[in-house]
Structure 1
């Protein structure tokens, strides 16, 4: 269906691809992964509209290949008063009206031939998108996404997550040959994320989806495209199998690398000895032996293991505390209520300690972001922050904390770093090289912007972090690096997140929004609740065993104990089969 061959493309300030090739076959559900800023969205744009770009190589599509597309950005402006049914069925309704109009014309026209031709074209177009069953299919997909109740609502009445799912349903029902989605999961709550999983898995056509969401990656795809360091590799199989394959390769390559290094060291010592002896006999036997040995050394250097997909560079997130305090109450919320068109939260009460990490969980549109922003602004009588707490805030609306017209350099000088060298040194830990510092923030990917937000939060050295969807747009490697940094952080955290893995990996407890109020529960109970609702019996236990084995493999690799690592990888393979 799609064939990309030896594609190379560069921006003026950045090389993106170096002779990459891949194919997409009919019926494949392909996840497209890679680090933030590696060029995934640009590559999708090239596939959709190659005429816009000047590149080397080939991009071939089947003739008349119809592409459905869901952007990572929602656009509501022109359709807010349209109903959900009218929005999803727009193409079908338009064709129905066109067919009815042609029939009316034929009743009174004396020249019926051209009308018959138009009528047949409209019928063919209607049939191509399975128009006869469109109402039944709309109802079926709304039911699959648990959105039956939304059918007659106006688009303006939907939450952001609900509208994202409606966009997906609309594109799927238009029966494209290839369905492309760019981070459709961003900001979806867990219920909507589960609905998206159901929609993806029910779709019979070919799909190419950019996603960093580990829940979708683990449960939706049968092919992986991984873009890294201007190179791309294809993998036929699931994301879990792909990661296992990477781990096996890592064990083998580390073992080979150590052997190569030992051989290189032996060779270097031998060359040094030969050089000493050959100084007086450069053209004789010793000189010839030296030249042969140098060539062997060059060959060894060339075949030294290089692994752009194995040891992937990720940001070095580190949260420092400028003002560490003894355990006390950091935040107290008493009888808090908030409403817009309707009441969202009523009589909410909770406390957070100065060393406690707490996630807020709840459906889209229930007031989580409003609550977090009001805590940050600290001018509501229901909210009391301990005066010893220094608050740092990360917004899901990146424009609230980053100025798009600034360069990266300007942004961090304004944030309090003193010199060009200070910014260069500081920002390099977050994956930005010196030549990127003059880039405008507006030109960066969503993930790169979020990394800059996190960098600003860490620079503040606050002891109380307010984080609104901190993993949004982040690639999986950056998510894991962030989780590690949050786990090691010694201050208080209040975090809105719909990422199940981030919550259970580094939070102490969860505030769950239900029926316009909030109740607090510990992570153990929260885990059981999620697994009981969304996974088969035994999945939690198997996944915990898998994580333990992966940790043991990592330890074995650090100690260069390759025999143990290989034995454990066999154990891991059996657990993966169960998942």
Structure 2
């Protein structure tokens, strides 16, 4: 389909690609991954011909139909409706429709056989191209991407950049190309639209190449992972999770080869040094020196996912209640967002605020952050709460003439320059990078600087609006590690599901104009949500959510009253807690045993130890589930 052979592409003196190779076959669904600046978007531009290779070739069939989504499409302007813009994908059908309309007009005065034959031919071709269904298909895809019927009639120029990008995506999907090249397609989508796009791409019959930092999205679509690194392209025959496992295995082998080779080199060098002065061994020494020079050196493994250690020092902890929302209502003209709703953010909460765009996530976040005062009800900050609000507009608030280090020195004067350089190092700004001017940074680099600023603030409460936008996977991983080490409270809006699943212990969502809470991780919320039923009352006025189905509760036998049953179950709970403590200790001991070299280097020992560990871990997890079930029963009895 597309063959990339010995591709070299240079920018100035830097080779972004150096004799790289990749063959894209029909049916391939490939994720193109790599650090920011590794050349992923550039490679897509090379494929479509926007850039020319320095050397090497990119070959494909002349009639290959390519659909290419890139961020440059944001500049597309039109005063026509978004339905009309999306239907521009049907170039031949639109041309035929226009010609048919012209012929029908002529037919009012000219009944000649020539006109009738032309009309018949055009209509047959139009029908063969499914022309009568193109408007329905356009409606269907625009609806999947989050546009209502009324919005589809609005001019493109009235929408924000993110929504315009959705229209461009719709137009490309409607073209049904042979291959889709998608550069960060989820950047401007909310979670429902991302899930819709996943389903669409899973059934897409052509080839797909996706550049994305959303690992959940990649895992659900791709069957190959291509890593752009060190000017080469390396293909892994599986999705992103497979790539992580396979790369880890390859790196382990490479690391062992490197260590063995280094040991051999040192041995040879010692031997050379020992016999260098002996004339009788001169020939042997020279032979060894030449052999060392000819040896093909194995590189040590680079750590692409460094572990970071943040030191968060807020001067005072907050009280138990961080933010209390009481009877909050918020409306815009013709749009009600919140209606008489209440909620509490407690100390230690790590809340993910999720939902479709337009449902009020950003509005609620601004109310929580005191950035929006125009609402009914109360938003009450708790005792000793100090807050930092991170949003994308803060990238524009960076001082362009400052260096990175000066930006942080001015913002956080209580920190020493050494401390600030350490924090910047965690965000991948090392050495002389810290002296770069803000104005020369990419969008992703500016995001990392703004996040570093937010995390240096003396704040025990963080409000984070889309912090993962413009970040590559390594940077997202760093932010996850930072938030794991943060002992304060935070609420975050993001469409990156992996990120949310890693950092959140509570989920907030807006339903029926009310704030609803799920007490668990994002993955647990997804499982619960998929089983959940939302019913409408007969009047159709309000939806009622069927709560998470609980196991049937044990009823007290006739001879045992409620208080005695509660006492018995509390004793059972205490016994379970003791068992959990012992089981957890056992699991940790087995983990330590697995880490011993004499175990992991001996296959039979490792197999037996792994079997014992898995059994102990399963028992530990079962005890935890039994505890949760029993605790819920006690709470219901006490309530």
Question: In structure 1, what is the equivalent of residue 486 of structure 2?
Answer: 489
Question: In structure 2, what is the equivalent of residue 463 of structure 1?
Answer: 460
For 1:464 and 1:557, the matched residues in 2 are separated by 40
Question: In structure 2, what is the equivalent of residue 204 of structure 1?
Answer: 205
For 2:464 and 2:238, the matched residues in 1 are separated by 35
For 2:99 and 2:198, the matched residues in 1 are separated by 35
> Which one has a bigger Cα radius of gyration?
2
TM-score by length of 2: 0.72
Contact 1:413 1:423 in 2 (8 A): yes
Within the alignment, does 1:285 sit opposite 2:297 as a pair?
no
Contact 2:480 2:499 in 1 (8 A): yes
Contact 2:226 2:233 in 1 (8 A): yes
Contact 2:68 2:180 in 1 (8 A): yes
Q: 1:370 aligns with which of 358, 363, 369?
A: 363
Q: Kindly state the Cα deviation for residue 30 of structure 1 after the two structures are TM-superposed.
A: 1.6
Question: In structure 1, what is the equivalent of residue 260 of structure 2?
Answer: 259
For 2:490 and 2:359, the matched residues in 1 are separated by 20
Question: In structure 1, what is the equivalent of residue 87 of structure 2?
Answer: 89
| Unmatched tracts of structure 1, length 5 or more | 536-547, 572-579
Q: 1:500 aligns with which of 488, 497, 500?
A: 497
Contact 1:212 1:475 in 2 (8 A): yes
Identify if the C-alpha distance between structure 1 residues 120 and 570 changes in structure 2 by more than 3 Å, giving closer, same or farther.
farther
Q: 1:389 aligns with which of 385, 389, 394?
A: 385
Identify if the C-alpha distance between structure 1 residues 419 and 357 changes in structure 2 by more than 3 Å, giving closer, same or farther.
closer
List aligned pairs for 1:201-350, cutoff 5 A: 201-275=202-276, 278=277, 281=278, 284-298=279-293, 302-307=296-301, 311-313=303-305, 316=308, 318=310, 320-325=312-317, 328-341=320-333, 342-350=335-343
Contact 1:556 1:562 in 2 (8 A): no
Contact 1:129 1:174 in 2 (8 A): no
Question: In structure 2, what is the equivalent of residue 17 of structure 1?
Answer: 17
TM-score by length of 1: 0.79
Moved more, 324-333 or 503-512: 324-333
Q: How big is each residue's C-alpha offset from its partner over 1:483-532, in whole Å with a ceiling of 9 and x where there is no partner? A: 122112111111112323222222221222212121222115x5334025
Question: In structure 1, what is the equivalent of residue 154 of structure 2?
Answer: 154
Identify if the C-alpha distance between structure 1 residues 4 and 253 changes in structure 2 by more than 3 Å, giving closer, same or farther.
same
Identify if the C-alpha distance between structure 1 residues 4 and 518 changes in structure 2 by more than 3 Å, giving closer, same or farther.
same
Give the SS at the match of 1:137. helix
For 2:281 and 2:419, the matched residues in 1 are separated by 52
For 2:250 and 2:608, the matched residues in 1 are separated by 14
For 2:160 and 2:475, the matched residues in 1 are separated by 28
Contact 1:129 1:175 in 2 (8 A): no
Within the alignment, does 1:528 sit opposite 2:524 as a pair?
yes
Question: In structure 2, what is the equivalent of residue 474 of structure 1?
Answer: 471
Give the SS at the match of 1:382. strand
Identify if the C-alpha distance between structure 1 residues 206 and 123 changes in structure 2 by more than 3 Å, giving closer, same or farther.
farther
Identify if the C-alpha distance between structure 1 residues 332 and 135 changes in structure 2 by more than 3 Å, giving closer, same or farther.
same
Q: Kindly state the Cα deviation for residue 373 of structure 1 after the two structures are TM-superposed.
A: 3.2
Contact 2:89 2:171 in 1 (8 A): no
Root-mean-square deviation (CA), in Å? Answer: 4.5
For 1:19 and 1:569, the matched residues in 2 are separated by 45
For 1:79 and 1:559, the matched residues in 2 are separated by 68
List aligned pairs for 1:8-87, cutoff 5 A: 8-12=8-12, 15-50=15-50, 52-53=51-52, 55-72=54-71, 75=74, 78-79=77-78, 82=81, 84-87=82-85
| Unmatched tracts of structure 2, length 5 or more | 532-586, 612-639
Q: How big is each residue's C-alpha offset from its partner over 1:227-272, in whole Å with a ceiling of 9 and x where there is no partner? A: 1232211233333332232232233233333333433343344344
For 1:496 and 1:173, the matched residues in 2 are separated by 30
Contact 1:335 1:347 in 2 (8 A): yes
Within the alignment, does 1:561 sit opposite 2:600 as a pair?
yes
Q: Kindly state the Cα deviation for residue 71 of structure 1 after the two structures are TM-superposed.
A: 2.8
Q: Kindly state the Cα deviation for residue 33 of structure 1 after the two structures are TM-superposed.
A: 1.0
Alignment coverage as a number of residue pairs: 546
Moved more, 15-24 or 557-566: 557-566
Q: How big is each residue's C-alpha offset from its partner over 1:387-424, in whole Å with a ceiling of 9 and x where there is no partner? A: 63332232134534435676646644554579998876
Question: In structure 2, what is the equivalent of residue 576 of structure 1?
Answer: none
| Higher RCO, 1 vs 2 (CA within 8 Å, ≥6 residues apart) | 1
Q: Kindly state the Cα deviation for residue 442 of structure 1 after the two structures are TM-superposed.
A: 5.8
